[in-house]
A and B are shown apart, each in its own frame.
Chain A
Amino acid sequence: MSAVKKEKEPLFSAKNRKLLTNPLNIENPITVQVLGICSALAVTAKLKPAFVMALSVIVVATFANVIISILRNGIPPRIRIIVQLVVIASLVILVDQVLKAFVYDVSKQLSVFVGLIITNCIIMGRLEAFAMGNKVWPSLLDGFGNGLGYGAILIIVGFVRELFGSGTVWGYHVIPQPVYELGYMNNGFMILPPMALIIVGVIIWIQRAKNPQLIEQK
Protein backbone atom coordinates (compact mmCIF):
# COMPACT_ATOMS: atom_id res chain seq x y z
CA MET A 1 0.00 0.00 0.00
CA SER A 2 2.61 2.46 1.10
CA ALA A 3 4.84 1.42 -1.76
CA VAL A 4 2.41 2.63 -4.40
CA LYS A 5 1.53 5.75 -2.50
CA LYS A 6 2.73 8.83 -4.24
CA GLU A 7 5.12 11.04 -2.40
CA LYS A 8 3.07 13.50 -0.42
CA GLU A 9 3.14 17.06 -1.62
CA PRO A 10 4.48 19.37 1.07
CA LEU A 11 1.84 21.66 2.58
CA PHE A 12 3.51 24.79 1.31
CA SER A 13 4.93 23.61 -1.98
CA ALA A 14 5.74 26.20 -4.60
CA LYS A 15 2.40 25.47 -6.29
CA ASN A 16 0.45 25.90 -3.07
CA ARG A 17 2.30 29.07 -2.15
CA LYS A 18 1.28 30.49 -5.51
CA LEU A 19 -2.39 29.87 -4.63
CA LEU A 20 -1.91 32.13 -1.67
CA THR A 21 0.24 34.85 -3.22
CA ASN A 22 -1.10 35.12 -6.77
CA PRO A 23 -4.44 36.66 -5.70
CA LEU A 24 -2.45 39.31 -3.86
CA ASN A 25 -0.74 40.35 -7.05
CA ILE A 26 -1.12 39.13 -10.62
CA GLU A 27 -4.50 37.42 -10.03
CA ASN A 28 -6.00 39.96 -7.68
CA PRO A 29 -9.78 39.58 -7.68
CA ILE A 30 -10.46 43.33 -7.68
CA THR A 31 -7.69 44.90 -9.72
CA VAL A 32 -7.09 42.14 -12.26
CA GLN A 33 -10.28 40.07 -12.38
CA VAL A 34 -12.39 43.16 -11.59
CA LEU A 35 -14.78 41.26 -9.33
CA GLY A 36 -16.47 42.46 -6.17
CA ILE A 37 -16.20 46.11 -7.13
CA CYS A 38 -19.58 47.19 -5.70
CA SER A 39 -18.74 46.33 -2.12
CA ALA A 40 -15.26 47.79 -2.58
CA LEU A 41 -16.89 51.11 -3.39
CA ALA A 42 -19.52 50.95 -0.69
CA VAL A 43 -17.72 50.07 2.53
CA THR A 44 -14.38 51.84 2.13
CA ALA A 45 -15.21 55.37 3.29
CA LYS A 46 -13.67 54.43 6.65
CA LEU A 47 -10.91 51.97 7.48
CA LYS A 48 -12.75 50.07 10.21
CA PRO A 49 -15.75 48.87 8.20
CA ALA A 50 -13.38 48.10 5.31
CA PHE A 51 -11.31 45.95 7.64
CA VAL A 52 -14.32 44.11 9.06
CA MET A 53 -15.69 43.58 5.55
CA ALA A 54 -12.30 42.24 4.44
CA LEU A 55 -12.21 39.89 7.41
CA SER A 56 -15.77 38.71 6.74
CA VAL A 57 -15.01 37.99 3.09
CA ILE A 58 -11.81 36.12 4.01
CA VAL A 59 -13.76 33.95 6.45
CA VAL A 60 -16.60 33.29 4.02
CA ALA A 61 -14.32 32.65 1.03
CA THR A 62 -12.09 30.26 3.00
CA PHE A 63 -14.84 28.23 4.61
CA ALA A 64 -17.00 28.14 1.48
CA ASN A 65 -14.04 26.83 -0.52
CA VAL A 66 -13.27 24.20 2.12
CA ILE A 67 -16.87 23.02 2.46
CA ILE A 68 -17.48 22.84 -1.27
CA SER A 69 -14.17 21.04 -1.75
CA ILE A 70 -15.17 18.43 0.86
CA LEU A 71 -18.55 17.95 -0.81
CA ARG A 72 -17.28 18.21 -4.38
CA ASN A 73 -17.57 14.52 -5.26
CA GLY A 74 -21.11 14.20 -3.91
CA ILE A 75 -22.65 17.35 -5.32
CA PRO A 76 -24.99 16.51 -8.21
CA PRO A 77 -23.75 18.71 -11.09
CA ARG A 78 -27.28 19.76 -11.98
CA ILE A 79 -27.83 21.55 -8.66
CA ARG A 80 -24.22 22.50 -7.93
CA ILE A 81 -24.81 26.26 -8.23
CA ILE A 82 -27.69 26.06 -5.74
CA VAL A 83 -25.58 24.01 -3.36
CA GLN A 84 -22.78 26.58 -3.61
CA LEU A 85 -25.25 29.36 -2.96
CA VAL A 86 -26.72 27.60 0.09
CA VAL A 87 -23.23 27.17 1.54
CA ILE A 88 -22.28 30.82 0.90
CA ALA A 89 -25.59 32.17 2.16
CA SER A 90 -25.46 30.23 5.43
CA LEU A 91 -21.87 31.30 6.07
CA VAL A 92 -22.80 34.92 5.42
CA ILE A 93 -25.78 34.73 7.77
CA LEU A 94 -23.50 33.24 10.44
CA VAL A 95 -21.00 36.08 9.95
CA ASP A 96 -23.81 38.63 10.12
CA GLN A 97 -25.15 37.14 13.36
CA VAL A 98 -21.68 37.07 14.92
CA LEU A 99 -21.05 40.70 13.93
CA LYS A 100 -24.39 41.73 15.43
CA ALA A 101 -23.49 39.97 18.66
CA PHE A 102 -19.91 41.19 19.05
CA VAL A 103 -19.31 44.37 17.02
CA TYR A 104 -22.76 45.92 16.83
CA ASP A 105 -21.68 49.41 15.75
CA VAL A 106 -19.65 48.05 12.84
CA SER A 107 -22.48 45.75 11.85
CA LYS A 108 -24.76 48.79 11.78
CA GLN A 109 -22.36 50.61 9.46
CA LEU A 110 -21.99 47.64 7.13
CA SER A 111 -25.77 47.19 7.22
CA VAL A 112 -26.87 45.63 3.95
CA PHE A 113 -23.38 44.99 2.63
CA VAL A 114 -22.76 41.97 4.85
CA GLY A 115 -25.79 40.36 3.25
CA LEU A 116 -24.40 41.31 -0.12
CA ILE A 117 -21.30 39.14 0.44
CA ILE A 118 -23.62 36.42 -0.83
CA THR A 119 -23.65 38.07 -4.23
CA ASN A 120 -19.92 38.82 -4.21
CA CYS A 121 -18.77 37.24 -7.43
CA ILE A 122 -15.32 36.47 -6.03
CA ILE A 123 -16.62 33.80 -3.70
CA MET A 124 -18.87 31.97 -6.11
CA GLY A 125 -16.25 32.38 -8.82
CA ARG A 126 -13.67 30.59 -6.70
CA LEU A 127 -16.10 27.81 -5.75
CA GLU A 128 -17.00 27.13 -9.36
CA ALA A 129 -13.50 27.60 -10.77
CA PHE A 130 -11.40 26.04 -8.04
CA ALA A 131 -13.06 24.28 -5.11
CA MET A 132 -15.28 22.07 -7.31
CA GLY A 133 -12.17 20.47 -8.81
CA ASN A 134 -9.46 20.60 -6.16
CA LYS A 135 -8.59 18.97 -2.86
CA VAL A 136 -9.36 20.55 0.49
CA TRP A 137 -5.98 22.02 1.35
CA PRO A 138 -5.34 23.82 -1.96
CA SER A 139 -8.96 25.03 -1.85
CA LEU A 140 -8.42 26.47 1.61
CA LEU A 141 -5.32 28.31 0.42
CA ASP A 142 -7.10 29.53 -2.69
CA GLY A 143 -10.09 30.84 -0.71
CA PHE A 144 -7.90 32.47 1.90
CA GLY A 145 -5.63 33.97 -0.75
CA ASN A 146 -8.50 35.45 -2.75
CA GLY A 147 -10.13 36.82 0.40
CA LEU A 148 -6.80 38.34 1.31
CA GLY A 149 -6.34 39.82 -2.15
CA TYR A 150 -9.78 41.38 -1.94
CA GLY A 151 -9.21 42.56 1.62
CA ALA A 152 -5.84 44.11 0.86
CA ILE A 153 -7.34 46.37 -1.80
CA LEU A 154 -10.27 47.25 0.49
CA ILE A 155 -7.90 48.26 3.26
CA ILE A 156 -5.67 50.36 0.99
CA VAL A 157 -8.70 52.15 -0.44
CA GLY A 158 -10.25 52.55 3.02
CA PHE A 159 -7.01 53.97 4.41
CA VAL A 160 -6.61 56.55 1.63
CA ARG A 161 -10.26 57.59 1.71
CA GLU A 162 -10.41 57.97 5.48
CA LEU A 163 -7.10 59.83 5.66
CA PHE A 164 -7.98 62.41 3.01
CA GLY A 165 -11.74 62.39 3.47
CA SER A 166 -11.98 62.67 7.25
CA GLY A 167 -8.39 63.34 8.34
CA THR A 168 -8.50 60.24 10.53
CA VAL A 169 -7.13 56.70 10.49
CA TRP A 170 -9.18 54.04 12.29
CA GLY A 171 -11.19 56.89 13.84
CA TYR A 172 -8.14 58.66 15.31
CA HIS A 173 -7.21 62.13 14.13
CA VAL A 174 -3.82 62.03 12.43
CA ILE A 175 -3.75 65.30 10.54
CA PRO A 176 -2.69 67.84 13.17
CA GLN A 177 -4.83 70.88 13.94
CA PRO A 178 -2.17 73.42 12.80
CA VAL A 179 -2.37 71.98 9.28
CA TYR A 180 -6.11 72.75 9.23
CA GLU A 181 -5.38 76.24 10.48
CA LEU A 182 -3.10 76.76 7.48
CA GLY A 183 -6.14 76.28 5.29
CA TYR A 184 -6.07 72.51 4.67
CA MET A 185 -9.51 70.96 4.33
CA ASN A 186 -10.79 67.40 4.32
CA ASN A 187 -11.74 66.39 0.82
CA GLY A 188 -15.47 65.62 1.00
CA PHE A 189 -15.27 63.99 -2.41
CA MET A 190 -13.18 61.20 -0.87
CA ILE A 191 -16.18 60.10 1.17
CA LEU A 192 -18.29 59.55 -1.95
CA PRO A 193 -18.22 56.24 -3.86
CA PRO A 194 -16.79 57.64 -7.16
CA MET A 195 -13.52 58.39 -5.40
CA ALA A 196 -13.18 54.73 -4.45
CA LEU A 197 -13.42 53.87 -8.12
CA ILE A 198 -10.70 56.37 -8.93
CA ILE A 199 -8.43 55.00 -6.18
CA VAL A 200 -8.99 51.44 -7.43
CA GLY A 201 -8.11 52.77 -10.89
CA VAL A 202 -4.87 54.26 -9.59
CA ILE A 203 -4.00 50.96 -7.90
CA ILE A 204 -4.62 49.10 -11.18
CA TRP A 205 -2.39 51.62 -12.97
CA ILE A 206 0.48 51.20 -10.51
CA GLN A 207 0.10 47.42 -10.56
CA ARG A 208 0.17 47.23 -14.35
CA ALA A 209 3.15 49.56 -14.57
CA LYS A 210 5.04 47.15 -12.31
CA ASN A 211 3.81 43.92 -13.94
CA PRO A 212 4.15 44.21 -17.71
CA GLN A 213 2.68 40.70 -18.18
CA LEU A 214 -0.72 42.11 -17.11
CA ILE A 215 -0.82 44.51 -20.03
CA GLU A 216 -2.88 43.14 -22.91
CA GLN A 217 -1.00 42.65 -26.17
CA LYS A 218 -2.55 44.46 -29.08
Chain B
Amino acid sequence: MYSNAYIFRYASILVILVAAILSAAAMLLKPMQDRNVAVDKMQSILVAAGFEGVDAKNAIELFNKYVTNMKVIDPSGEIVDDYTTDNKENSTAFKLNLKEQLYNKASGRDYKLPMYVVNKNGESIYIIPLYGVGLWGPVWGNIALKGDFNTVVGVTFGHKAETPGLGAEIETPIFEDQFPGKTIFDGAGNFVSIGVIKGGVANQPNDRQKHLVDAISGGTITSNGVNDMIKNVLESYEPFFKKQG
Protein backbone atom coordinates (compact mmCIF):
# COMPACT_ATOMS: atom_id res chain seq x y z
CA MET B 1 0.00 0.00 0.00
CA TYR B 2 1.23 3.47 -0.79
CA SER B 3 1.35 6.12 1.92
CA ASN B 4 -0.28 9.50 1.51
CA ALA B 5 3.16 11.12 1.60
CA TYR B 6 4.24 8.94 -1.31
CA ILE B 7 1.14 9.89 -3.29
CA PHE B 8 1.76 13.59 -2.71
CA ARG B 9 5.43 13.26 -3.63
CA TYR B 10 4.59 11.27 -6.73
CA ALA B 11 1.95 13.73 -7.90
CA SER B 12 4.15 16.78 -7.28
CA ILE B 13 7.17 15.38 -9.11
CA LEU B 14 5.04 14.24 -12.04
CA VAL B 15 3.34 17.60 -12.40
CA ILE B 16 6.57 19.62 -12.16
CA LEU B 17 8.25 17.35 -14.69
CA VAL B 18 5.35 17.62 -17.13
CA ALA B 19 5.19 21.40 -16.70
CA ALA B 20 8.90 21.69 -17.49
CA ILE B 21 8.60 19.56 -20.63
CA LEU B 22 5.59 21.44 -21.92
CA SER B 23 7.04 24.89 -21.30
CA ALA B 24 10.27 23.90 -23.03
CA ALA B 25 8.34 22.63 -26.04
CA ALA B 26 6.17 25.75 -26.18
CA MET B 27 9.23 28.02 -26.08
CA LEU B 28 11.13 26.06 -28.73
CA LEU B 29 8.22 25.96 -31.16
CA LYS B 30 7.05 29.54 -30.60
CA PRO B 31 9.09 31.19 -33.41
CA MET B 32 7.76 28.71 -35.98
CA GLN B 33 4.20 29.11 -34.75
CA ASP B 34 4.44 32.91 -34.89
CA ARG B 35 5.76 32.64 -38.42
CA ASN B 36 2.78 30.48 -39.41
CA VAL B 37 0.37 32.96 -37.86
CA ALA B 38 2.00 35.82 -39.81
CA VAL B 39 1.84 33.88 -43.07
CA ASP B 40 -1.77 32.99 -42.36
CA LYS B 41 -2.54 36.69 -41.82
CA MET B 42 -0.97 37.56 -45.18
CA GLN B 43 -2.93 34.80 -46.87
CA SER B 44 -6.13 36.04 -45.32
CA ILE B 45 -5.46 39.64 -46.46
CA LEU B 46 -4.77 38.55 -50.04
CA VAL B 47 -7.83 36.29 -50.15
CA ALA B 48 -10.03 39.14 -48.86
CA ALA B 49 -8.76 41.29 -51.73
CA GLY B 50 -9.92 38.58 -54.13
CA PHE B 51 -6.66 36.86 -55.06
CA GLU B 52 -6.99 33.16 -55.87
CA GLY B 53 -4.50 30.34 -55.46
CA VAL B 54 -2.80 31.86 -52.41
CA ASP B 55 -1.25 29.19 -50.20
CA ALA B 56 1.20 29.10 -47.33
CA LYS B 57 4.15 28.70 -49.71
CA ASN B 58 3.62 31.70 -51.97
CA ALA B 59 1.88 34.00 -49.47
CA ILE B 60 4.98 35.99 -48.46
CA GLU B 61 6.09 36.48 -52.06
CA LEU B 62 2.63 37.50 -53.28
CA PHE B 63 2.14 39.71 -50.26
CA ASN B 64 5.29 41.70 -50.98
CA LYS B 65 4.40 41.87 -54.65
CA TYR B 66 0.81 43.08 -54.46
CA VAL B 67 0.62 44.97 -51.18
CA THR B 68 1.72 48.49 -52.04
CA ASN B 69 1.30 50.29 -48.75
CA MET B 70 0.79 49.51 -45.08
CA LYS B 71 -0.80 52.54 -43.46
CA VAL B 72 -1.32 53.45 -39.82
CA ILE B 73 -4.24 55.73 -39.11
CA ASP B 74 -4.92 57.77 -35.96
CA PRO B 75 -8.38 58.34 -34.38
CA SER B 76 -8.96 61.61 -36.25
CA GLY B 77 -8.46 59.84 -39.58
CA GLU B 78 -4.96 61.16 -40.33
CA ILE B 79 -2.38 58.82 -41.83
CA VAL B 80 0.52 58.71 -39.39
CA ASP B 81 2.67 56.06 -41.04
CA ASP B 82 3.22 54.78 -44.57
CA TYR B 83 5.26 51.70 -45.38
CA THR B 84 5.94 51.03 -49.02
CA THR B 85 9.29 49.18 -49.06
CA ASP B 86 9.82 45.44 -49.13
CA ASN B 87 9.48 43.02 -46.20
CA LYS B 88 6.01 44.26 -45.39
CA GLU B 89 5.82 41.97 -42.37
CA ASN B 90 8.20 44.33 -40.58
CA SER B 91 5.89 47.32 -40.95
CA THR B 92 4.21 48.96 -37.97
CA ALA B 93 0.80 48.37 -39.53
CA PHE B 94 1.38 44.61 -39.82
CA LYS B 95 2.63 44.28 -36.25
CA LEU B 96 -0.09 46.45 -34.75
CA ASN B 97 -2.18 44.36 -32.37
CA LEU B 98 -5.76 45.27 -33.24
CA LYS B 99 -7.12 43.70 -30.05
CA GLU B 100 -4.98 46.04 -27.93
CA GLN B 101 -5.84 49.06 -30.05
CA LEU B 102 -9.57 48.39 -29.81
CA TYR B 103 -9.18 47.94 -26.07
CA ASN B 104 -7.37 51.29 -25.90
CA LYS B 105 -10.22 52.86 -27.83
CA ALA B 106 -12.85 51.34 -25.54
CA SER B 107 -11.04 52.61 -22.47
CA GLY B 108 -10.66 56.10 -23.88
CA ARG B 109 -6.92 55.99 -24.55
CA ASP B 110 -5.07 56.95 -27.72
CA TYR B 111 -5.11 54.25 -30.40
CA LYS B 112 -3.84 53.50 -33.89
CA LEU B 113 -5.45 51.55 -36.70
CA PRO B 114 -3.81 49.55 -39.49
CA MET B 115 -4.84 49.53 -43.14
CA TYR B 116 -3.31 47.56 -46.00
CA VAL B 117 -3.40 48.77 -49.60
CA VAL B 118 -3.33 46.07 -52.26
CA ASN B 119 -2.88 46.65 -55.96
CA LYS B 120 -5.08 44.30 -57.94
CA ASN B 121 -5.10 44.72 -61.74
CA GLY B 122 -4.15 48.38 -61.34
CA GLU B 123 -6.93 49.12 -58.87
CA SER B 124 -6.16 49.96 -55.26
CA ILE B 125 -8.08 47.87 -52.74
CA TYR B 126 -8.09 48.86 -49.09
CA ILE B 127 -8.09 46.11 -46.50
CA ILE B 128 -9.12 46.60 -42.91
CA PRO B 129 -8.46 43.89 -40.32
CA LEU B 130 -11.32 43.00 -37.99
CA TYR B 131 -11.34 41.70 -34.43
CA GLY B 132 -14.24 40.85 -32.14
CA VAL B 133 -15.83 38.26 -29.89
CA GLY B 134 -17.81 35.18 -30.90
CA LEU B 135 -19.44 32.64 -28.63
CA TRP B 136 -16.46 30.69 -27.25
CA GLY B 137 -13.58 32.97 -28.08
CA PRO B 138 -12.32 35.67 -30.41
CA VAL B 139 -13.38 36.02 -34.03
CA TRP B 140 -11.39 38.01 -36.55
CA GLY B 141 -11.10 38.68 -40.23
CA ASN B 142 -10.36 41.14 -42.99
CA ILE B 143 -12.69 43.29 -45.03
CA ALA B 144 -11.57 44.66 -48.41
CA LEU B 145 -13.06 47.91 -49.70
CA LYS B 146 -12.89 49.60 -53.09
CA GLY B 147 -11.30 53.03 -53.53
CA ASP B 148 -14.67 54.64 -52.77
CA PHE B 149 -14.33 53.30 -49.17
CA ASN B 150 -17.88 52.09 -49.46
CA THR B 151 -18.20 48.97 -51.62
CA VAL B 152 -16.99 45.65 -50.23
CA VAL B 153 -14.67 43.62 -52.47
CA GLY B 154 -14.41 40.60 -50.23
CA VAL B 155 -14.06 39.35 -46.67
CA THR B 156 -12.35 36.56 -44.80
CA PHE B 157 -13.19 35.46 -41.30
CA GLY B 158 -11.44 33.31 -38.78
CA HIS B 159 -12.17 32.16 -35.27
CA LYS B 160 -10.51 30.51 -32.34
CA ALA B 161 -13.09 28.05 -31.07
CA GLU B 162 -16.56 28.55 -32.56
CA THR B 163 -18.81 25.49 -32.72
CA PRO B 164 -17.96 23.32 -35.75
CA GLY B 165 -20.89 23.15 -38.16
CA LEU B 166 -22.63 26.14 -36.56
CA GLY B 167 -20.69 29.28 -35.61
CA ALA B 168 -17.56 27.98 -37.32
CA GLU B 169 -19.39 28.29 -40.66
CA ILE B 170 -18.46 32.00 -40.71
CA GLU B 171 -15.17 31.01 -42.33
CA THR B 172 -16.82 29.08 -45.17
CA PRO B 173 -17.45 30.57 -48.64
CA ILE B 174 -21.21 30.13 -48.12
CA PHE B 175 -21.11 32.92 -45.55
CA GLU B 176 -18.21 34.99 -46.87
CA ASP B 177 -19.48 35.13 -50.48
CA GLN B 178 -22.49 37.16 -49.36
CA PHE B 179 -20.34 40.23 -48.70
CA PRO B 180 -18.87 41.33 -52.05
CA GLY B 181 -20.89 44.23 -53.52
CA LYS B 182 -22.45 45.28 -50.21
CA THR B 183 -21.95 48.88 -49.11
CA ILE B 184 -21.18 50.35 -45.70
CA PHE B 185 -22.64 53.86 -46.30
CA ASP B 186 -26.26 54.57 -47.21
CA GLY B 187 -27.36 56.90 -50.02
CA ALA B 188 -27.19 59.95 -47.76
CA GLY B 189 -23.59 59.17 -46.80
CA ASN B 190 -24.36 57.94 -43.28
CA PHE B 191 -22.34 55.04 -41.91
CA VAL B 192 -24.56 51.96 -41.58
CA SER B 193 -21.99 49.12 -41.49
CA ILE B 194 -23.01 45.68 -42.75
CA GLY B 195 -25.57 43.91 -40.64
CA VAL B 196 -25.63 40.15 -40.09
CA ILE B 197 -29.33 39.48 -39.58
CA LYS B 198 -31.76 36.64 -39.01
CA GLY B 199 -35.02 36.20 -40.87
CA GLY B 200 -33.69 36.53 -44.40
CA VAL B 201 -32.18 39.51 -46.19
CA ALA B 202 -34.71 39.00 -49.01
CA ASN B 203 -37.53 39.95 -46.61
CA GLN B 204 -35.97 43.35 -45.91
CA PRO B 205 -36.81 46.59 -47.76
CA ASN B 206 -34.88 46.97 -51.01
CA ASP B 207 -32.76 49.94 -49.95
CA ARG B 208 -31.62 48.05 -46.80
CA GLN B 209 -30.64 44.84 -48.58
CA LYS B 210 -27.29 46.14 -49.78
CA HIS B 211 -26.19 46.64 -46.16
CA LEU B 212 -27.26 43.22 -44.90
CA VAL B 213 -26.19 39.57 -45.06
CA ASP B 214 -27.87 36.44 -43.71
CA ALA B 215 -26.75 35.12 -40.34
CA ILE B 216 -25.96 31.45 -39.75
CA SER B 217 -28.75 29.22 -38.45
CA GLY B 218 -27.77 27.82 -35.09
CA GLY B 219 -24.87 30.24 -34.90
CA THR B 220 -26.73 33.29 -33.63
CA ILE B 221 -24.22 34.43 -31.04
CA THR B 222 -21.31 34.04 -33.44
CA SER B 223 -23.30 35.89 -36.14
CA ASN B 224 -24.07 38.70 -33.71
CA GLY B 225 -20.39 38.77 -32.82
CA VAL B 226 -19.48 39.21 -36.49
CA ASN B 227 -22.13 41.92 -36.83
CA ASP B 228 -20.75 43.85 -33.85
CA MET B 229 -17.16 43.30 -34.95
CA ILE B 230 -17.73 44.82 -38.40
CA LYS B 231 -19.65 47.75 -36.97
CA ASN B 232 -17.22 48.44 -34.14
CA VAL B 233 -14.08 48.27 -36.28
CA LEU B 234 -15.35 50.13 -39.35
CA GLU B 235 -16.81 52.84 -37.11
CA SER B 236 -13.29 53.59 -35.91
CA TYR B 237 -12.20 54.22 -39.50
CA GLU B 238 -15.15 56.53 -40.24
CA PRO B 239 -13.15 59.79 -39.80
CA PHE B 240 -10.60 58.42 -42.27
CA PHE B 241 -13.29 57.42 -44.80
CA LYS B 242 -14.90 60.86 -44.55
CA LYS B 243 -11.56 62.59 -45.18
CA GLN B 244 -11.04 60.58 -48.36
CA GLY B 245 -14.57 61.16 -49.62
A104 & B22 in contact (Cβ 8 Å cutoff): no
- Contact A100/B33 with A90-B18, A94-B22, A94-B25 known, Cβ cut-off 8 Å: yes
Contacting residue for A101 out of B11, B29, B39, CB 8 A: B29
Contact A111 B164 (CB under 8 A): yes
The one of A74, A94, A101, A111 that contacts B36, using a Cβ cutoff of 8 Å: A101
**Chain A facing B: main interface SS:** helix
Does any Cβ of A come within 8 Å of B82's Cβ?
no
Range, interface on chain A: 20 to 34
A145 CB, nearest partner CB in chain B, Å: 26
Q: Which residue of A lies closest to B9 (CB)?
A: A76
> Which residues of the partner chain B approach A87 to less than 8 Å between Cβ atoms?
18
Chain A nearest Cβ from B219, distance in angstroms:
15
A108 to B158, CA, bound (A): 10
| Chain B contacts for A193, CB-based, 8 A | 165
Determine if A128 is an interface residue (Cβ-Cβ < 8 Å). Answer: no
Given known pairs A97-B33, A112-B161, A193-B165, the reply for A104 and B26 (CB within 8 Å) is: no
Q: Contacts A97-B26, A97-B33, A101-B32 hold; do A76 and B2 have CB atoms under 8 A apart?
A: yes
Given B14, B15, B36, B165, which contacts A100 in the complex, CB threshold below 8 Å?
A: B36
Give CA–CA (A86, B15) in the complex, Å. 8
Q: Which residues of B contact A102 (CB under 8 A)?
A: 32
Find out whether the CB atom of A105 lies under 8 angstroms from the CB atom of B56: yes
Shortest B164–chain A CB gap in Å is 7
Q: Is the CB of A93 within 8 A of B29?
A: no
Give Cα A100 to B15, complex, Å: 24
How far apart are the CA atoms of A90 and B16 in the complex, in Å? 12
Cα distance A31–B39 when bound, in Å? 40
Does B176 count as interface, using CB distance less than 8 angstroms?
A: no
CA distance A101 to B40 in the complex (A): 12
Contacts of B32 in A (CB 8 A): 101-102
Task: Tell whether A112 pairs with B164 under 8 Å between CB atoms, given A78-B2, A93-B22, A105-B56.
Answer: yes
In the complex, whether A3 has a CB less than 8 A from a CB of chain B is no
Complex contact B40–A104 (CB within 8 A): yes
The reply to whether A104 and B36 form a contact with Cβ atoms under 8 Å apart is yes
Residues of A within 8 A of B2 (CB): 76-78
* B10 A74 Cβ-Cβ under 8 A: yes
Q: Mark A126-157, 1 if CB is under 8 A from B, else 0.
A: 00000000000000000000000000000000
Q: Which residues of A contact B22 (CB under 8 A)?
A: 90, 93-94
B106 at the interface (CB under 8 A from A): no
- Name the contact of A97 in the complex, choosing from B7, B25, B40, B56 (C-beta under 8 A): B25
Q: Are B7 and A76 in contact (CB under 8 A)?
A: yes
Q: Name the A residues within 8 Å of B15 (CB-CB).
A: 86
Give the 7 A-B CB pairs with smallest separation, nearest first.
Answer: A104-B36, A101-B32, A76-B2, A101-B29, A76-B7, A90-B18, A100-B33
Name A residues whose Cβ lies closer than 8 Å to a Cβ of B. 42, 74-79, 82-83, 86-87, 90, 93-94, 97-98, 100-102, 104-105, 108, 111-112, 193
20 contacts between A and B (CB under 8 A): A76-B2, A76-B6, A78-B2, A79-B7, A79-B11, A82-B11, A83-B14, A86-B14, A86-B15, A90-B22, A93-B25, A94-B21, A97-B29, A101-B29, A102-B32, A104-B36, A104-B37, A104-B39, A105-B40, A105-B56
